[in-house]
A and B are shown apart, each in its own frame.
Chain A
Amino acid sequence: MSLSRRLLDILNFLALIAMLIAVYMALIEAPDAINVDPAIRPAQRIIYFHVPSAWSSMLAFFVAFIASILYLITKRVRWDIWARSASELGIAFTIAAIISGSMWAKPAWNTYWTWDPRLTTYTIVLLLYIAYFMLRGAIDEPSRRARLAAVYGIFAFLSVPLTFMSIRWWNTIHPVIVDNPENPNKFGLGPNMRITFMFTNIAFLILFVTLLANRISLGWAEERLDALKEKLNF
């Protein structure tokens, strides 16, 4: 077994353990929220997975943004693999965050969906990155595909900071958990809830690195296959 395969296996194992502990802490260890209607208290626990999913998606798109810039500077295929891997991972985390957010919204806002600035901008992010893969699928020549996808990836990323700041810039019903201007300690959670919140974020960070490493490994295999096909005139 190669060293990279062994490292991936260790990462996979670590991510699984971290996520299982995160589930335990979020569902059992964390205290109930006390400042909300008792009927929606169980749904408050959704934030422990919803927020890290959303942050992981933004981190993934940031990695894709940096990789796209590096591809345009160096023209190395490595950065194209990183960009497409991170974008794909970002889409998965975005879908997870949007669905879990809707499940929280129903008991909290009495609706699964509303065209609030955060929800609208986040949906635009999702559509922009789905379009990124449609663009890639429409171009056959590999270097041209990578170059255009990198340019598109840089512009698509502009929607991500806009989404992140939307709850701070505009009038929105979406709660602000971190750096909340209405809260004296800048944090919309009690001290005991904070520990769980921090841990689930760390667990998602480990999961993010693991999934990205696995997807990049697949990206290299795809490149190897394309090179073999070219050699054999397939």
Chain B
Amino acid sequence: MVYLAAAYGAIWFVLFLFVISIFRRQQQIDTEIEVLEDALRRLEQK
């Protein structure tokens, strides 16, 4: 039973880590894109 729990736990953990990594990278990129688009808009207005 211990091995069964460890195996299922490991699979869920790895997949969860993958989902979290996508989510965090997406958030980080969205923030960066927002900042850069703001900078671009300001440059175009000048």
Contacts and interface: CB of A to CB of B under 8 A. Distances in A.
A103 B22 contact: no
A106 B43 contact: no
Nearest to B11: A96
For this complex, into which size category does the number of interface residues on chain A fall?
Answer: 35 or more
Contacts of B36: 225, 228-229, 232, 234
B19 A103 contact: no
B19 A211 contact: yes
Interface in A12-30: 23, 27
What DSSP secondary structure best describes chain A's contact surface?
helix
Interface stretch (A38-46, A71-79, A166-174, A191-199): A38-46
Nearest to B6: A103
Given A96-B15, A214-B22, A225-B32, A232 B7 contact: no
A202 interface: no
Contacts of B37: 228
Contacts of B11: 49-50, 53, 96, 99-100
Interface of B: 1, 3-4, 6-8, 10-11, 14-15, 17-19, 22, 25-26, 29-30, 32-33, 36-37, 39-40, 43
Interface of A: 23, 27, 42-43, 45-46, 49-50, 53, 88-89, 92, 95-96, 99-100, 103-104, 106-107, 207, 211, 214-215, 217-218, 221-222, 224-225, 228-229, 231-232, 234
